[in-house]
Amino acid sequence: MSKLVGAVAVAGGGVAGIQSAIDLANSGLKVYLIENSTSIGGKMAQLDKTFPTLDCSMCTLSPKLAEVARHPNIELLTYSEITGIEGEAGDFTVKVKKKATFVDPNKCTACGLCVPKCPVKVPDEYNEGGNNRKAIYLAFPQAVPRVYTIDAEKCLYLTKGKCGNCAKACENDAINYDDKGEEIEINVGSVILSTGFEPFDATQLEQYRMDHPDVVTSMQFERQLSSSGPFEGHITLSDGTHPKRIAWIQCIGSRSPEIGRRNCSSVCCMYATKEAMVAMEHDSELETTIFNIDVRAFGKGFEEFYQKAKNEKSVRFINSRPSGVEVDPNTNKLSLKYEGEDGNGTCREEFDMVVLSIGLTPSKSSKQLVDIANVEMDDLGFVKTKIDCPVETTRPGIFVSGAMQAPKDIPDTVADASGAASKASSLLSSERGKLVTEKQYPTEKEITDEIRTGVVVCRCGINIGSIVDVPDVVNYAKDLSGVVFAKEEVYACSSDSLAGIADLVKEHDLNRVVVASCTPRTHEPLFRETLMEAGLNPYMFELANIREHCSWVHQNEKDKATKKAKDIVRMSVSRANLLQPLYKEKVEFNNSGLVIGGGIAGMNATIDIADKGFHVTLVEKSAELGGLLNAYTKLQDGRSTSEVLEPIIGRVRSHDNITLMTDTELVGLEGSMGKFTAHLKKAGVDEEIQCGVAIIATGANELVPEGYFSYGKYPNIVTQSKLEHMIDEGTDAKDIVFIQCAGGRNNERPYCSRACCTVAMKNAIRLKEGDPDRNVYVLYRDIRTFGRWEDLYTQARELGVVFMRYTEDKEPEVGEKSIKMYDSLLNMDFDINYDLLALSAPLVAPETNEGLGSLFKVPLDSNKFFLEAHIKLRPVEFATEGVFLCGTAQAPKLVDEAVSQALAAASRACTILSSDFLETIGNVSVVDPELCIGCGRCTMVCPYKAPELKEVVVETEEITYTTKKCEINPTVCKGCGSCAAECPTGAITSRHYTAPQIMAVIKAYGEGL
C-alpha cells in the first residue's frame, strides 16, 4: 500500500452506520457519514419498542443520534448519495452527490415557523403514509441534523413557481430556492457499506389485499403503536374504531422461493410477537393471532419472550400460513383460511385487522451501491462475505455491516458495525489522529466570588414571542439576585446570536449565563460550546426551557405562560448562581489488553487488538487453541473447521503484539478500566499482568444430554458434534434420526440454542449426499434456520430428509431400536426404526462463569451466560467500563456471529486503548471523607461499581484507628447521582446536581408562589 488516508466513508446512517461512525471517530479517524435521506436514524427510528425487553426504541437511539451530531470527528452528509468509489484499500476517492435541500443549514434553527404556512400535504414516510407532512419538513421530531428540507418534487414554488410562503415565514432568511446541491469528492482509506434493508413491498402479492385499508404492513402497524405515530399510539381501523381481533401473517416476502425471496428474514417472528404484546398493553381485551410456519425465536431471551407471549399473554400462535386474505364483497370484512392444527382440517376466521409481517429485502439503493463499490453479491442479493470474515467484502478495504450482509436484528447489526469499524481501523491504525484536529479554546477565566449572571431570553421567532411577553420576562430577570445583564434575542441559537453571547460575556464580565429558550436536550451542547469559545467553563451555563415546557403547552393562556416563564427563569438563575466550574480529569492508563478464552471469538478479538498496535495477552485454560469449534469438523458452508482455525491459530502464535498463555487460568483481578491487575496461574506458578481493558470470550459447551431421549442408555445415541466425526470416519448407519431441542427449550433450560438447527441441516445434508439411500428423519419443534441458512433447510428437504414435528407435551419416546413419535401436523402416531440417533443438544454456559463474573463484577443472565450492558445497543459491553464480552460467552451463536462480536468487542476496547489518556466526565460524584461513615450503601446502588470502600487510618488527637471510607473512581462514574441520594450523611456530592443547587431551585420555586 503506497498511501494510507486516516479517514473512512460510512455509507448509510441507520443504527449500523451510526455505530461504525462513533467507533471510528472515537479511535481518532475522520469519518464521513453519508445518508440518503434527510436524517440519520434509519429504520430503528421508526420502531415503537424493541424485542425482547420492550424498550422504547427512540429512547435508546436518540442519545446516539445526538452523539453523532456533535462529534468533532464526524462529518455528516445527509440527503447525499455515493456516485463513485475509485482507488484501493488505504486510498479511495469517493464521489458524493449532495442533493439540494433549499434550506441553508447554517441559518435554519428548526424553529418550524415555515411548516404551518406550507399549503402542500405529502404522505409522511416516517409514519408509513399514516398521515401527512408538509413539503417543507423535518423527517421526525428527533431528526439529526435539525435542519428542514424542501421536497423539490412537491413544493409549489419549485414545481410551479407559485407560493413562496416558507421564505416569507422564515425570520432567519434560511430558504434558498436556488439551491442546486453539489458534487464533492472525499479521500478516505476505507469504506463501510451499511445501507441496510428495504421492507418487502407487499402490494406485489395481490392475494394479501393491501388494497383493503385494514390490511397493513408490520411497519405501518409499528407506527400505529407509537405515541408519536399517526394516531398517537391508538390502533385505529379505517372506520375510526379500534380493532378487537388482529391477525399477523408471517413470512410475507420471506421463505417464499416462488417469488424469488428464499431467505428467512430473521426478525419477523419476534417483531410480530412484540407487536402483539404491545397491542395488548394498549387494549387488554384484544385478541391476537400469529399465523406462522415456524416460530423463529432463536436469539438471546427470544424463546422466553415467545413462551411468555403464548402462555401468559394469550397470544395465539397457529402453525399455518394462510395463502391470502379474503374480503367479503358485501360486508368488506376480512377473513383468513388456514389448515388447523392437530389435523382439524381447513378453518376460517374473521379478523378486524390483518398485519402482514413483511420481510427484509436488499434495497434498490443498496444494489446500486454494491455496483458502484464493485463488490460481489450472493444469490440472495446480500453482500457476499465468508463465515470466518463476516464483515469483509470481496474488495479489500471495503467492509459491510448489518442487514446489507444478511437479514438480522439490531444487536447483530450493532456488533457487525463495530466489527466493520474495527477492520477499517486496523487497516488505518498508523494514521490515527492525523486527519482530526482538536479545537483550541481560549484560556478559561478565573471565577471570582462575585456572581455575575447574564440572561438571554429567546423569542424563537413567534414560537415563544407570540405567547410569552418576552420584554416583561427580560425586565423581570434584570432584578433577580446575581443578574447583571439581561436582553432578548429573536433566535438565541443562530450563529450571529451565539457570537453575540460570547461578546456579552466579555463586555459585562459575566461568569454565568442563562439562556431562556428551548430544551437543553438539544441545545445545551451548543451553548456550552459558545461559553468555551468565550473563555468560560462550559458548566457555568443553564438553559431555562420556556418553549417546550411553556409557550408550546399554554398557547391559550398567555398571562399564565408569561408568569410561568418568569418562574422558570428565576429557578434557573438561582441554580446558575451556584454553578461551579467542572473539569474533565485526564488519567494515565495502561493501553494493553487481556482476552480470556482462546476459541474463535477470543482469537479474533486478540488479533484485532494486536493489529492496531496494542499489546494483548491471550489466556486459555486448556492446552489447545480453538475452543468449541474443535468439537466440530465442518462449517455450514462446507469448509472444514481446521481450514478456518489453522491460519488464525498461526497468527496468534506468531504475532509480535500477542503474549499467548495456554494452560493458564485467571484467579484474581483488581482495579478498574485503564488499570486492571490480573493474577494468572500457569502450572501452579503465579503470574501478574497489568492491562487497561479485558474481553471475556470464555465460550460455551455442548450439553451432554444425559437423561434425555435415552442418551447413555443405548450405545447408538450420540450428539451432533460426535455425529460429525462419525460422518468423517464413515458410518454404515442406514436409518438415522435427529431429535432437536434435546435438553433445550424446557423448564431447566428455557432458551433456544440458536445454532443447533443449522448444524443439524448441515449434517443431514452430508449424510444424504454421502448415501442417498439412507433414511434421515429430523424430529423437531420449530426449524430455526434463520437468515440465509433457510437454504440448507430447503436443500435438506429436496434431498429427501423427512421432517416430523413434535410438541413439548408429547415428546418422542426412544426405545433401543425404534422411536414412538406423534406428528402434530399430521395428527398421527409413528414408529420409526433407527440404527443411529443424533441428539441436537443445546450449548450451555460453563460452570466457571459465576467465578469469573464475580472477579470482574459483571452479571450473568438467568441461563448463566454473561449479561451485556444493553441487549440492543451495547451487545458486547458490560455496564462495568473497560470490560467486554463476545462469542458464545454471551449466548449460543454461529461462527460468523461469534467473529462479528469478537471484532466488535475489539473495536469497543480499542476506542479506549487508542486515546492518549482516559478522560472523566465533569459531573462525577465525590466523597467528603470527613463525613463518610463507611456504610457502603453507595457501593450497593451504583451500577458501575464506581464507589469502593477502602481501608484508611484515621488519626485524631486521642486515638488512631483503622476504618473504611468510600472513594469514587472518577473514570467509571457516569454522574447519575444515585449515590448522593442514598448517602445517609451527605458525604457524597453529585457535582452539577449538588444538594445546595437543587435546594436553591426548590427555594426559588417557593418565592414565586
Q: Which residues bind another protein (CB under 8 A)?
A: 53-56, 58-60, 62-63, 141, 226-228, 232-233, 519-521, 545, 547-550, 552-557, 560-561, 563-564, 567-568, 571, 869, 879, 923, 941, 943-944, 974-978, 980-982, 990, 993, 995, 998-999, 1001-1003, 1005-1006, 1009
CB of 524 to another protein, least distance (A): 10
Task: Please report the sign of the dihedral spanned by the C-alpha atoms of residue 13, residue 17, residue 22, residue 28.
Answer: negative
- When the beta carbons of 185 and 232 are compared against another protein, the nearer one is 232
Report in angstroms how near the CB of residue 547 gets to another protein at its nearest.
6
Nearer to another protein, 209 or 872 (CB): 872
Residues 6+ apart with CB under 8 A from 285: 244
The answer to whether 513 touches 505, Cβ cutoff 8 Å, is yes
Largest distance between two CA atoms of the chain = 97
By three-state DSSP, how is residue 491 classified?
coil
Strands 353-358 and 245-252 turn out to be: parallel
Q: What is the DSSP letter of 982?
A: H
Q: Which is nearer to another protein, 380 or 873 (CB)?
A: 873
What angle do the packed helices 520-533 and 57-70 form, to 10 degrees? Answer: 20
- Pairing mode, strands 398-400 and 360-362: unpaired
Q: Which is nearer to another protein, 706 or 1007 (CB)?
A: 1007
Minimum distance of another protein from residue 976's CB (angstroms): 4
Nearer to another protein, 280 or 739 (CB): 280
DSSP code of residue 634: B
Nearer to another protein, 383 or 568 (CB): 568
**Residue (557 or 916) nearer to another protein, CB:** 557
Residue 2: is it exposed, middle or buried by C-beta count within 10 angstroms (0-12/13-18/19+)?
A: exposed
Among 607, 596, 616, smallest CA distance to 899 is for: 607
Span between the terminal Cα atoms of the chain, in Å: 72
Q: How far is the CB of 610 from another protein (least distance, A)?
A: 32
Least CB distance from residue 857 to another protein, whole Å? Answer: 13
Q: How far apart are CA 698 and CA 97, in angstroms?
A: 46
User: Per the structure block, which three cell numbers stand in for 752?
Assistant: 433456544
CB of 108 to another protein, least distance (A): 17
How far apart are CB 636 and another protein at their closest, in Å?
35
Write down the least CB distance from residue 159 to another protein, Å.
Answer: 29
Cβ-Cβ contacts under 8 Å for 246 (sequence gap 6 or more): 235, 276, 279, 286, 287, 288, 289, 351, 352, 353, 354, 355
Question: Closest approach of Cβ 149 to another protein, in Å?
Answer: 18
Nearest approach in angstroms of CB 249 to another protein is 28
d(CA 113, CA 145): 17
The x, y and z cell numbers of residue 456, run together, are 438571554
Cβ contacts of residue 270 below 8 Å, gap of 6+?
51, 52, 296, 297, 299, 302, 305, 306, 409
Nearer to another protein, 849 or 990 (CB): 990
Minimum distance, C-beta of residue 464 to another protein, in the bound complex (Å): 11
CB 162 within 8 A of CB 324: no
Q: 278 or 318: whose CB is closer to another protein?
A: 278
Distance of CA 804 to the CA centre of its chain: 37
Shortest reach from residue 897's CB to another protein, in Å: 25
Pick 510 or 980: Cβ nearer another protein: 980
Residues 6+ apart with CB under 8 A from 948: 939, 966, 967, 968, 969
Q: How far is the CB of 519 from another protein (least distance, A)?
A: 5
Whole-number Å distance between alpha carbons of 365 and 370: 9
Helix-helix angle 218-225:268-282, to 10 degrees: 30
Beta strands at 685-691 and 693-696: parallel, antiparallel or unpaired: unpaired
The single-letter code of the amino acid at 1003 is K
Residue 981 CB, nearest approach to another protein (Å): 4
Q: Is 270 helix (H, G, I), strand (E, B) or coil?
A: helix
**Residue 358 and residue 11: Cα distance in Å, rounded?**
24
Q: Which is nearer to another protein, 304 or 392 (CB)?
A: 304
What single-letter DSSP state applies at residue 623? S
> Quick count: other Cβ atoms within 10 Å of Cβ 617?
22
Nearer to another protein, 106 or 862 (CB): 862
Which three cell numbers mark 258? 416462488
Partner residues linked to 516 by β-bridges: 457, 544
Cβ proximity to another protein, 698 vs 990, nearer residue: 990
With respect to another protein, which residue has the nearer C-beta, 828 or 999?
A: 999
CA 600 – CA 306 distance, rounded (Å): 30
How far is C-alpha 121 from the geometric centre of its chain's CA atoms? Answer: 33
The number of beta carbons lying within 10 Å of the beta carbon of residue 163 is 18
* DSSP structure class, residue 313: S
Single-letter amino acid code for the residue at 261:
R
Least distance in Å: CB of 865 to another protein?
18
Based on the number of CB atoms within 10 Å of its own CB, is 377 exposed (0-12), middle (13-18) or buried (19 or more)? Answer: middle
- Which residue's CB is nearer to another protein, number 645 or number 879? 879
d(CA 546, CA 565) in angstroms, rounded, equals 6
Question: Residue 549 CB, nearest distance to another protein (Å)?
Answer: 6
Q: Which of 409, 352, 42 is nearest to 216 (CA)?
A: 352
Least spacing, CB of residue 968 vs another protein, in Å: 14
Which residue, 567 or 620, is less far from another protein as judged by CB? 567
Q: How far is the CB of 226 from another protein (least distance, A)?
A: 7
- Residue 557 half-sphere exposure toward CB, CA atoms < 13 A: 9
Cβ distance to another protein smaller for residue 633 or 923: 923
Indicate the residue among 377 and 1001 with the shorter CB distance to another protein: 1001
